[in-house]
Structure formats: structure tokens, C-alpha cells
Amino acid sequence: MKKIILWIILINSLAYSQDYTYNLSNDFQSQFGSSTDMVALNPIFKLESDTIFNKTYNSKIKKFPIGLSNINLAYGFLYFTGNSNSVFENEIVFLVENYMSDNPILYFDKNGNLDFTDDGGPIKFSDNFKLALKNIKNHSASLHYNISKGFFPNDAGQTFKTRIKSLYPNAYLISPNYWITNQRLFVKVSKGMLNDKPITIYLFDEDSDGLFTANIDKIFIEPNTIELEKDVSSFSRKASLISNNATFLIYGMKFSLKNLDESGDILVLEKSNKQINKIYDLGDSIDFLSLKLINDQSISINDFLNKDKYILIEVGGTWCGGCIAQKPIISEIYESNKAYVFGVFANDTKATVEKYVGKHKIEWDIGLMTQEFKKRFGINSFPTYILISPYGKIKLIDINAHRIKSLLMFSKRID
């Protein structure tokens, strides 16, 4: 009998012992796909001396680029956490020479030391280009950016200018006509085969340091071949933290992550019998969900189900610029009476939320995000809008309030 049990254990061990190794590609993209027009604004500031001002700190340039002219000089910042020695924490500085011209010249302080003579040559900026920022501890790992010229309607530009000026009180902000835009290409995409069937592997550099770090960054595996143009923001939400507990259901079989190097170059999967954590997705019923408001009251989604109205949960924060920018659309939805609206704020306190609610005249109920809420919905983008049908099912999860509004205003079917 003992021999039989031992044989069963051995057979089960062998069944789950096969490794699947992948050499991953170096294709990087935005989470919104390679063909997206969604970009982040990069304001620039006039360089009036040798001093750089960010939001709360200033420092002098140690060495200017060789051959730099003094014509219309400006500077800006890019978010990058992969250089712990940077003078400005989690940022690198770039200089713009002749920013008013059609072809300005850019110099990036890749080493973060404000010495612009040790970072390589200048970049003549005509339309757009890709930039790689190497991690200071692992030079085989980089964070990638797509840098483009900005175009802003006068009204939109003025709105952003007012906000940026309040954030950089000591810097001389230049007209939005000369700002640039960027796309953070923090998603590494690779195609492969698993048991003769195609898969697509996504690595998400969540903390933007160029590395793919356990328990910080994320991984998602799709059992199909997905084109680079595809918006994969929904995959980011459903992705698992990089760890040995990351488990995927692929073509009806479960696989776990056995190993992934920090550069994101080599991935090893193994067959698994581990449990897969459930992330709420489109079509799931969540009528049982409860939210705790900042007034300490709890509400249940079930109490608000109405055959004629949707429920919209706005997930954001007082620090979220995109939330503020899209707030007028959410107000319009609220006033249309087509949906109950609730706000869930992340990385905030009751005091900061109450101040924000008063300042922005928010009329709908607000609560604070719990870890359980974040885990179950896989929230990692702000804002995120969760639209629930009158029957308690998730209808749409999106970061774009315009798409929520379009569905509510023009959709005739309610389900």
C-alpha cells in the first residue's frame, strides 16, 4: 500500500515538473497600444540661470552640454525611479535648446547628476523619438519613452498651465505651445508558443524603474497572439504580481511563474495546481459589494439596483490630475440622472478627501479604497471608472470618462 501511495506522489510530481522557458523580446509599448494617441503632458520651464527648480527642491547644473548655445533655453522632467542617485528623486532633467524653433535640441541628464557632459550626444527633435533610460543597478534593464511634440488647444493649454504653475511655484512656466508630450512604454510584450499554441506575455513595469521586480511589478499571459496595436490596459488590471504564486489559466490548464530575471529577458513557467485569484471582470455580478463612505456609513450596491439606472464607481484620488480633468464629465453624468455615482479614493485620508470634496463641489458619496477593493478589481490606473448595470453586473471598466458618458447617453439597451 505504501508503495502505491509513493508511486502516486511520484507520478503527480512528474506531471507538474516540466518547465517552459521563454527568451522574451525587447518590444515595449504603452498600455494603450502602439497606435494610441493618449499621451502625458511634459511642461517645460524657462532656464533663467544655472538653477533647476522642481516642485519642492532646486539645484544648480554642474556642467552644461558642450557646445550649448544660450538661445531660448528651457528644462523639464521625466519620471524615472531607476536611478537612486538622481539629484531630483524619481526624476531626470532634460534641457531644451532653442525651444521656440521647429527643431529644438534636447539633452537628457541620464545619469541624474546634473552633469550634461557624460550622457551622450544631443537629440535633434523634429517629430518624435524613443528614449531609453538605463537602471543604475542593472544596465541591461531600461525604461522606455516615446517623446513627441505637444499640441494643445488654447483653452485646454490654459487649464493645464494654471495647474502646473501651482505645482511649480518657483519655476518660470513656458507657454503650452512649446511643451512636449510623452508615452511611458512600460509594457514589455513577447509572443511565444505553449504546447504548440500561441500565447502573448505581458510584463508591466509598474514602478517605472526599468526592472521587473517580484511583488512590485506584474505579469499577464494571454492564450492568443495579440497585436502590438491593441489596448492592453484591461490586461494590466487583471495581471498578477510577479511571484511564485502568480498562476495563469492557459488553454484550460494552470501554469505558475517559476522564474523571471529582473531584466525581463528569460521567463520560466511550470504546470501548477495552485488556486487562481479572481479579479472582477466584465459580466461579473457584484451586487453584493459594499462601500464604506467617509461619513462612516456603509452602502450596498444591491440597495441601489434600479431597472432604469446604472451605477458608476469613480476610482481616483485628490492627487490625481486625470481625475480633476475628467470631473466635469462625471458631474454631467451625475446631473443627467442616468446613473448613481460613487467615488472611491486611493492613497488618501478622510481629511484630504473632505477638503477635496468641498473645493471641487462634489455632490455624490465618497469612500476610501480598501486593500480588498483594490485587489478584487486589480486597480492600478487612476482614474478608473467601473460601470455597473441595473442588474448588478459589470458593464464597463475604463479610464476614459468620455466612453462611459457615450455608453450612458446613447445606449438604448439596459442590461
pLDDT digits (tens, 9 = 90+) for 67-89: 898 889 999 999 999 999 999 99
**Is pLDDT above 50 for 9?**
no
Q: How many CB atoms lie within 10 A of CB 348?
A: 21
Residue type, 350: K
Q: How confident is the model at residue 224 (pLDDT cuts 50, 70, 90)?
A: confident
Check whether 278 has a pLDDT greater than 50: yes
Residue 34's pLDDT band (boundaries 50, 70, 90)?
confident
Neighbouring C-alpha atoms within 13 Å toward the C-beta of 60: 4
Report residue 51 as a C-alpha cell: 538653477
pLDDT at 305 over 90: no
Percent of the chain clearing pLDDT 90 (strictly above): 56
What pLDDT, on a 0 to 100 scale, did the predictor assign at position 411? 64
Contact 395, 372 (CB under 8 A): no
291-297 long-range contacts, Cβ below 8 Å, gap at least 24?
291/342, 291/344, 291/365, 291/367, 291/373, 292/367, 292/368, 292/370, 293/365, 293/366, 293/367, 294/350, 294/353, 294/354, 294/366, 294/367, 294/368
Nearest-angstrom CA–CA distance, 311 and 235: 23
Hey, what's the cell of 8? 502516486
Reported as half-sphere exposure (CB side, CA atoms, 13 A), residue 365 has a value of 21
CATH 3.40.30.10 in the chain, residue ranges: 290-409
Cell of 381: 490606473
Q: What percent of the chain has pLDDT over 70?
A: 92
- Cell numbers found for residue 107: 539633452
pLDDT of residue 320: 86
Confidence of residue 11 (pLDDT cuts 50, 70, 90): very low
Give backbone dihedrals phi and psi of 105, rounded to 5 degrees, phi first. Answer: -115, 130
| Mean pLDDT estimate for the chain | 88
88-107: pLDDT as tens digits: 999 999 999 999 998 899 99
Which of residues 238 and 8 earns the better pLDDT score? Answer: 238
For the chain, the distance separating the N- and C-terminal CA atoms, rounded to the nearest angstrom, is 57
- Choose among 225, 388, 283, 408: nearest CA to 333: 408
- Neighbouring residues of 383: CB distance < 8 A, sequence distance ≥ 6: 314, 315, 316, 320, 322, 323, 326, 399, 401
Q: Domain 290-409 has what CATH class?
A: alpha beta
Confidence bin at 17 (pLDDT 50/70/90) = low
| 38: its cell numbers | 493618449
pLDDT at 50 over 80: yes
Average confidence (pLDDT) over 151-162: 63
Q: Does residue 37 register a pLDDT over 80? A: no
Does the pLDDT at position 6 exceed 80? Answer: no
Triad 137, 140, 141: Cα angle to 5°: 75
pTM score of the predicted model? 0.79
Encode pLDDT of 376-398 as tens digits. Answer: 888 878 899 999 999 899 999 98
Give tens-digit pLDDT for 182-211: 999 999 999 999 999 999 999 999 999 999
Instruction: Tell me which residue has cell 495581471.
Output: 239
Pairing of strands 58-60, 290-292: unpaired
The average pLDDT across 44-61 equals: 95
